[in-house]
Amino acid sequence: MTMPTSLCPNRMQIHSIIQETSDVWTINLINHDFYMYSPGQYALVSIKNSDEVMRAYTLSSSPGQSRFISITVRRLENGIGSNWLTRTVKEGDYLWLSEAQGEFTCANVTCQQYLMLAAGCGVTPIMSMTRWLMVNRPQANVKVLFNVRDDKQVIFAQEWQHLASLYPDRLQLCVMAETPDYGDIAQGRLTEEKLKALVPDIRSRVVMTCGPVPYMKNVQQYVANLGVPAAHFFMERFSTEPEAVESENILTLKIRQRLLNFNVPVGTTLLAALEQNKQPVIAACRAGVCGSCKTKILSGNYTTTSTMTLTEAEIAEGYVLACSCQLHSDTEIA
C-alpha cells in the first residue's frame, strides 16, 4: 500500500487512462474521499509516490460535473513525471495528489460573456471551466478559440463537439489548425487581426487564456490593443514548459521566522503558496488593493502585478503584496 507524502496527502485510484492524441493522455481517478477544487485549478502529483519529485497538472475534470477527478498529461521527451504517468502507471494503481491550487478559475468571476483562448495542452483548464460554465451559469455565453498544430492534435475532440451540439446558442467553438493553412481567417496562428474579426464583441467579454508562454504573452498584447480592460483578462501562470501541462519546475519557499520550508510550483502567487501550506496570512481583497497581505521578501526572484498601498521605501526593502506576487525561484520571506 502506498503512503501519502507531505504535500500530496490525497490518495486516488486510477480508473481509466484515455489517449487523447498521439502524445496526450487523460488519467481518470476515483476519489474515495471529498476533494474540493474549482474549475481551472491544478494539483501537484507525487511522481513515483515520492516526496522528492512532484509535478503540477491541470485538473481537466469539472467539479460537480465529471465522474472522476482527471488530469491530462502531454508526454515530454525528457519529462520525468509525464513519462511515468503515461508509460508506467496502469488502471488500479494509486496516485497521490496535493490540494487543488491556483487562481486561474472562472468560479470567482462574475460575468455572462467569456472568451476562452487556448493553445496545445493549455486547453485543459479551458475545458474544465467551459464545461462548468455551461451547467452552473445558464446565462453564460462562451466563445472558445483553440489553436492546434493540425486537426489530429485536438485534445477532447469528441467532447468539444458534444458540448457545442448540446449548447449551440451559448457555446461557439473555433479550432484553428496551423497546418494546413490556406489563409482562412479561422486557420493558422492567432493574430490580432484574426482575433478582432472572429470576436468583434471582445470588449464585452472576460478573456481567459492558457498555453505556451509566448502564446499567452501575444494574447495579452492583442486583447489590450483591442480595448479589453486589464481587470477582465486572466491567464494561467504555473506552466513554464511550452505546450506542457507538466510543470517541471518546483521552487522552495522558506519562512525564516518559523524555520519552515515548502515546495511550490514556479509561478505560484505568494498568497496561494502560504494558504495551500496552511500558513496564517491576512488577505481581504485578494486583488492587490487593500494591502492587508503585505509581506517582506528577503531573497528570490519574483514579479508583481500590483504595488498599491506600498510606499517606495517599502518596495525598496522587499515588501510585496502576497496576492499579487508571482514566485519564480527559491524564495525566502521574513
Q: 105: pLDDT confidence band, cut at 50, 70 and 90? A: very high
**What CATH number corresponds to the domain at position 78?**
2.40.30.10
Q: What is the pLDDT of residue 44?
A: 85
- How far apart, in whole angstroms, are the C-alpha atoms of residue 274 and residue 189? 38
Instruction: Between 149 and 242, name the one with better pLDDT.
Output: 149
Tell me: the pLDDT tens digits for 228-252? 999 999 988 654 333 334 445 688 9
Q: What is the pLDDT of residue 239?
A: 46
Question: Which domain does 226 fall in, by range?
Answer: 113-235
CATH number for 265: 3.10.20.30
Q: Decide: helix, strand or coil at residue 223.
A: helix
18, part of any domain: yes
Q: Please enumerate in sequence order all residues whose Cβ is within 8 A of that of 149, keeping only pairs 6 or more positions apart, or say none.
A: 120, 177, 178, 179
Mean pLDDT of the chain: 90
| Cell numbers for 171 | 457555446
Three-state DSSP at 173 gives: strand
Identify which has the larger pLDDT, 156 or 213. Answer: 156
- By the 8 A CB rule, do 91 and 27 touch? no
Q: How far is CA 103 from CA 10, 43, 87, 108, 171, in A?
A: 20, 12, 30, 9, 24
Q: Are 270 and 310 in contact (CB under 8 A)?
A: no
**Residue 325 pLDDT > 90:** yes
243 touches 211 (CB < 8 A): yes
Classify residue 105: in a domain, yes or no.
no
pLDDT per position as a tens digit, 44-84:
898 887 766 778 899 999 999 999 999 999 998 888 889 99
Residue 196: other Cβ atoms inside 10 A: 14
Q: For residues 141-168, give the mean pLDDT.
A: 96
Is residue 322 domain-resident?
yes
CA distance 235 to 208: 6
pLDDT at 77: 84
Position 292 pLDDT exceeds 90:
no
Q: How far apart are CA 157 and CA 142, in angstroms?
A: 17
Residue 228 sits in the same domain as residue 291: no
Of 214 and 169, the one with more pLDDT? 169
Answer yes or no: do 121 and 230 share one domain: yes
pLDDT of residue 236: 83
Q: Do residues 118 and 202 share a domain?
A: yes
Write the single-letter amino acid at 275.
E
186: cell is: 479561422
Question: How far is CA 52 from each of CA 44, 210, 334, rounded to the nearest angstrom?
Answer: 12, 28, 25
In the chain, the number of structural domains is 3
Residue 221 sits in the same domain as residue 315: no
CB atoms near residue 223 (< 10 Å): 25
Q: Looking at the domain assignment, is residue 327 inside a domain?
A: yes
pTM for this structure? 0.75
Q: Which of 105-114, 272-281, 301-310 tops mean pLDDT? A: 105-114
Per-residue pLDDT, 40: 95
Overall average pLDDT of the 127-153 stretch: 96
